Amino acid sequence: MNGKRFSENKARRNGFYLALAVCLVAVGIAAWSTFDAVQGYISATEELESSSASSRSDDPQAQKSPAPSPQPSAGAAKPSAAPTATPKPKPTYVPKPSDPPAAESPEPADTEPEEPQVPANAPMYEISGEMICPVSGETIQKAYSAGAPVYSETMKDWRVHAGADFGAQSGEQVLACGNGIVKETYTDSMLGNVVVIEHGDYIFSYCGLGENFLVKPDDVVTMGQAIGTVTAVPGESADQPHLHLEVRKDSAYLDPQSVIEGKD
């Protein structure tokens, strides 16, 4: 009986040791597997870090990138920003383009200014150094108004008097005030018979002459030459007999008395 119990106890101990050995083997295998897995993870991590470090060393931009500055916490007081000076732009050198060679300008020909061509048969006259009164008397009945309106006894209104009225006897000869050339002769409803003569730079209009013109266009006249006779001026018939004389220079009316006296 005792031998049988001993055998059973021995068998139980052997089973216990066997189970313990199996457990130890299983624990060893599990430990080995865990160690091998940890070793593989560490090796992979080291290779990844080594590759990343190599990439950073090859990239200069990565080396220059500054590390991000730490952001202050929400509760921390923000320091006041210091004023930063605006950098002055550096002057940029721009190469000056070389000037293209100047084109040679043609030398002006030695030509003298051409004088205006005068027709061979054009009438010529010598400009008088002074002028004379167109009638014997030198009394001015109505002066040049210089653009101001004056009262007209004939027209019963106010109008500009563009000339000067020289008092004279009806039928008295009208004389050329200087050397010149006759430009035209015509009859006007207000001025009567008119002879227009060029005396140098001035154009004289002798108005209120008789029916018979003593000169014609293109005639050269000399100072003191008779060009007509005194008759009434239609637009000034209410006035005493006179010669109405108008003077223009460059289309502008001038005072006839001042021009004759050499004052204009």
Give pLDDT tens digits along the chain (264 positions). Answer: 545 555 565 666 777 777 777 778 777 777 767 666 656 656 666 666 665 555 554 544 544 444 555 454 444 445 455 555 555 555 554 455 555 555 565 565 566 666 656 566 778 999 999 999 999 988 999 999 999 999 999 999 999 999 999 999 999 999 999 999 999 999 999 999 999 999 999 999 999 999 989 999 999 999 999 999 999 999 999 999 999 999 999 999 999 999 999 987
Torsion sign, CA atoms 10, 15, 20, 21: positive
- Token pair for 16: 């216990």
What is the rounded CA–CA span in Å between residue 237 and residue 229? 16
- The long-range contacts involving 117-123, CB below 8 angstroms and separated by at least 24 positions, are 123/181, 123/218, 123/219, 123/220
pLDDT at 76: 45
Is this structure's pTM higher than 0.85?
Answer: no
Could you give phi then psi for residue 19, rounded to 5 degrees?
A: -65, -40
- Give Cα separations from 179 to 39, 83, 106, 246 (angstroms): 135, 91, 47, 17
pLDDT at 142: 97
For residues 141 and 153, the answer to whether their CB atoms sit within 8 Å is no
N-to-C CA span, the chain: 178
Q: Would you call 208 helix, strand, or coil by DSSP?
A: strand
Mark residue 210 as left, alpha or beta (left: phi above 0; alpha: psi -120 to 50; beta: remaining).
beta
What is the rounded CA–CA span in Å between residue 211 and residue 181? 20
DSSP single-letter state for residue 256 = H
- Token pair for 64: 């220059």
Residue 169, judged by CB atoms within 10 A of its CB (0-12, 13-18, 19+), counts as: middle
pLDDT at 26: 77
